Chains A and B, each alone.
Chain A
Amino acid sequence: MILIWLLIIPLLGGLAAWFLGSKNTDRARWISLAALGLDTVLLFRLWSSEHARNALDHGAWLGELNKPWIPQLGVGLHLAVDGLSLMLIALTLFLGIVSVICSWTEVRERVGFFHFNLMLILSGILGVFMTLDLFLFYFFWELMLIPMYFLINIWGHENRVYASLKFFIFTQAGGLLMLLSILGLYFVHGRDTGFYTFDYSLLMGTTMSPAVAMWIMLGFFIAFIVKLPAVPFHAWLPDAHTEAPTAGSVILAGLLLKTGAYGLIRFVLPLFSAAAAVIAPAAMILAVIGIIYGAVLAFGQTDLKRLVAYTSVSHMGFVLLGIFAGNAASLSGAIFQMIAHGVSTGALFILVGMIQERIHTREMNNMGGFWSHAPRLSGVGLVFALASLGLPGFGNFVAEFLILLGAYRVNIAVAAFAASGLVLAAIYSLRIVQRVFHGKIHSTMKLADLSLRETGMMAIMILVILWLGMNPQPVLNITGPALHTIECCAPHHNPAPMERDVK
């Protein structure tokens, strides 16, 4: 039952924030924080129970809930959490709390409704990370879109209407393809066994001809790489990220993109292992193109927020590479990258938001010399720019290192090209530092430094990214066993030498 409460509490919190917070804006913020806090407590209770400790070690489900929902169609309310989900849920709650705090002064209009949307997205994302029923998965997958659309459309910047529409249509079209694939799988399994169900664990053993498996897999694959996004489908991302309010960008970059990667790991690899192996080379090439293309475009931007958005394309390329390299090291790296990128890019978006709130522009040509006015803000900026370029000691380094290590065993050329992404990352990251924080003082206005609230929030984020970088083992231990089941079906499964890399 704890799982369903994890889902419902943010939803109730959002409703309460909307109704009670329409007059008193601070109340809406506190209610949302309280709901997320309560959720975090619940998560820790789930995490720390005796049963969970055992389950984590064996890659089993920490908690599971399976109730009929629409029995006529074989749809169940099937929720379950393993180590992989657990880490992503923790990331969701962490970034959820951060987004409430970072919009404390930025969002001043219709605060109640804003928080309702925010909490609804978080609910949808939590649902995606928890569900083991494909119908329910599609339900949550679509559910998180609408509030995100509103978030961009109502509280976004200048070009928000265009950006929100583009975001919605891209992801919705991908989602509909996935719907077709889900239905295809449902009927293939149903015809085979006479038992029609959307349940993940039952669909797992479906036997399909290679051609059918390929078509069904492609539907899932495209839906997930639109969300990720991988290169030909990334067009929505720069606009959506740039125009969204800070909290929206944090959630988009930190969480929404991860749902795509999660889908690939949870559904595409285990359900269609053979078909996934066939497209793995193509997917890895797409990933490398994404890494380099995202980095090159990031370098060309003068809009600071757009720059950060393009770095996401590059970093998510690493995730795609890690997933389709498909061995223990690369998969662990991909998951680690999801978490580290969530924190580091989230922090960068918050920084851009703070700068924009202060000087009302995101144009880098109007920035410069911030260090003299706002040393704390600039210091934090430096830290996260370094994290983003993959400096050892930060979480991103561990992640990208593991991914490259895994990819190297599969294809040396691919790994080599992907590694050039690290060099390019250094160039664009240092360019931010140089143009924004150093250099001639451009802005005549005096830039206020971080307030107490902002300092505290950024300090925690720095601690998290450093902890991930210095001591990655606990996270790897939690996700590792959960990955075992997936590795077995992964394209380049080669168990013997890999175990040592992770353990």
Chain B
Amino acid sequence: MNIADLTALSPFIVLTITPVVVMLAISFYRCHELTVILTLLGLVLAVASLPSAARHIPREVTPLLIIDGFALYYLGLILTAAIIVSALSYSYVNIHAGHREEFYLLLLLATLGCAVLTAASHFASLFLGVEILSVSLYALIAYLRHNERSVEAGVKYLILAAVSSAFILFGMALVYAETGSLAFNRTGIPISSVDLHPVSLTAGFALIIAGLGFKLAVVPFHMWTPDVYEGAPAPVSAFIATASKGAVFAVVLRYFSLKDIHGQSAQFLIFTSTAIASMFFGNLLALLQNNVKRILAYSSISHLGYLLITLLAVGSMAGTAAAFYLTAYFITTLGAFGVVTVLSKEDRDADGLDDYRGLAWKHPWLAAVFTAMLFSLAGIPLTAGFVGKFYIAAAGVGSHLWLLTAVLVINSAIGLYYYLRIIVVLFTRSETASDGPSLSFSGSSALAILAFLLISLGIYPGPVIDLIRKAMTF
């Protein structure tokens, strides 16, 4: 391993050192503010080391990790999400009793897991990433350990994530038995010839898809999502919905883009039906919910369905569409959960629709941000979600995926209904015109940044598209 390798790895190294530093700091001096500052510092340093790492790409560092433009772009996205989540968490964790500092430790470890996934080029690193992520999330979800819902959600996630890890492991074993290699690019057997291969290889792929499908929360592996989103602390839900899903999607994209999954292959059919089912189930079930966190959970299921279209589309546009849509989805979802976070009180999260009644007249700015986020989720112009959805539809039409694109369009119309339902509640004339609680500085500044990004990506997406294209060519 030489200097160039180390430089390329520097974001990962910073991300590994930070939890250690934070842990030591906590053991010597327990102070919430200091922990937050150290966490943010570590994450910002990791982001700052991205440009220098970018000078040495593409580079295979050990057989386990490949540092390329793709990895660095998704890594940057995840680090930014982690920064926003930490900023949002500060006031949220502060109002809850108990030890506060370990929250950030777990958050950093989960981010590290995500980071490994973006660069994984080997089944071993994939599994390491998934496990680091999952184990940190068990504890994060159940962090409010006096809250029954939180603990229930934690246990639920623990069991299902453990099962899905077992699926992935078994799938990896089957694939290894047939191909004799754990590296992604060697197991990349063209699926068109899958009939020539023994059943065990197909079974292995299916098991891996099932295991990763749990993490992505696509139908039919989505059952845990609403319960966990509802029970977990709001900033943790934000992290699961964005960083965790984004990282797993990145690894799925990398793994399956090495294979030809088009035509009438089994994988193509599996992904097509999963995508269609996710779009429909996510949107239709969201119609029945009255809990904002659950609505956002179902909406995120449908958004992953939209994203799967980019996996099936061919050409350079598909990769750009995936990265752009994920960027827009990160901003939007973080913003939406951010609003839930800053409104949450000590005893419970602000997740009932009633908590938002007349918000527009109590906290006009907060309501404006939330409205913008919901419009972005629905794909309305002036927001990043619009350009993202346009891009996905373009990628779908460009690859002749007419069925999937038509389903996307139908679901966009269905989805509008429940997003608008929340907006209606926000703008209901409220009798009790009392001012809501004052908002924390860190939370509102994070939301302001997200809103700014949302609008600027919606109006002038050119520079980001350029960045993505440049990253994807390496």
A contacts, CB < 8 Å to B: 69-73, 109-110, 135, 138-140, 142-143, 145-146, 149-150, 153-154, 161, 164-165, 168-169, 172-173, 176-177, 179-180, 183-184, 186-187
Contacts and interface: CB of A to CB of B under 8 A. Distances in A.
Interface stretch (B107-115, B146-154, B232-240, B458-466): B458-466
A165 B390 contact: no
Nearest to B425: A161
Contact of A70 (B380, B382, B427, B461): B461
A186 B405 CA distance: 15
A184 B397 contact: yes
Nearest to B468: A72
A149 B405 contact: no
Contacts of B417: 165, 169
A72 B462 contact: yes
A206 to B, nearest CB: 15
B381 A143 contact: yes
Contacts of B462: 69-72
Classify the secondary structure of A's interface with B: helix
The 3 closest A-B pairs by CB, nearest first: A173-B413, A183-B397, A176-B409
Nearest to A143: B381
Contacts of B405: 180, 183
A142 B429 CA distance: 26
B413 to A, nearest CB: 4
A164 B427 CA distance: 13
A180 B406 contact: yes
Interface string B422-458: 0010010100000000000000000000000000000
Contacts, number: 72
A165 B420 contact: yes
Nearest to B406: A180
A139 B381 contact: yes
A73 B394 CA distance: 10
B465 A72 contact: yes
Contacts of B413: 169, 172-173, 176
B120 to A, nearest CB: 29
Nearest to A219: B409
Contact of B393 (A142, A154, A161, A179): A179
6 contacts: A135-B390, A139-B381, A165-B420, A169-B416, A183-B394, A183-B397
Nearest to A165: B420
Interface residues of B, number: 30
B330 interface: no
B469 interface: yes
A154 B405 CA distance: 34
Given A71-B462, A169-B417, A179 B390 contact: yes
B375 interface: yes
Nearest to A186: B394
A187 B461 contact: no
A143 B465 contact: no
A142 B380 contact: yes
A458 B429 CA distance: 32
A161 B427 CA distance: 11
Interface of B: 361, 375, 380-382, 386-387, 390-391, 393-394, 397-398, 405-406, 409, 412-413, 416-417, 420, 424, 427, 429, 460-462, 465-466, 469
Contact of B382 (A110, A143, A154): A143
Contacts of A179: 390, 393, 409
B393 A183 contact: yes
B393 A180 contact: yes
B467 to A, nearest CB: 11
The residue among B375, B382, B394 with the most chain A CB atoms within 10 A of its own CB is B394
B466 A72 contact: yes
A145 B413 CA distance: 14
A110 B460 CA distance: 30
Contact of B420 (A135, A149, A180): A149
B380 A180 contact: no
Contact of A142 (B381, B409, B420): B381
Nearest to B411: A176
Contact of B424 (A70, A110, A153): A153
Nearest to B320: A72
Contacts of B409: 176-177, 179-180
A172 B397 contact: no
Nearest to B378: A172
Given A70-B462, A176-B412, 12 more contacts: A72-B465, A72-B469, A139-B386, A145-B380, A146-B380, A153-B424, A179-B393, A180-B393, A180-B405, A180-B406, A184-B397, A186-B394
Contact of A180 (B397, B429, B461): B397
Contacts of A168: 416, 420
A269 B281 CA distance: 39
A164 B420 CA distance: 10
A138 B393 CA distance: 14
A281 to B, nearest CB: 27
Contacts of B386: 139, 142
B111 to A, nearest CB: 30
Nearest to B393: A183
Contacts of A172: 412-413, 416
Contacts of B398: 183, 187
Nearest to A110: B361
Contacts of B465: 70, 72-73
Given A71-B462, A176-B413, A186-B394, A150 B427 contact: yes
A186 to B, nearest CB: 7
A71 B405 CA distance: 24
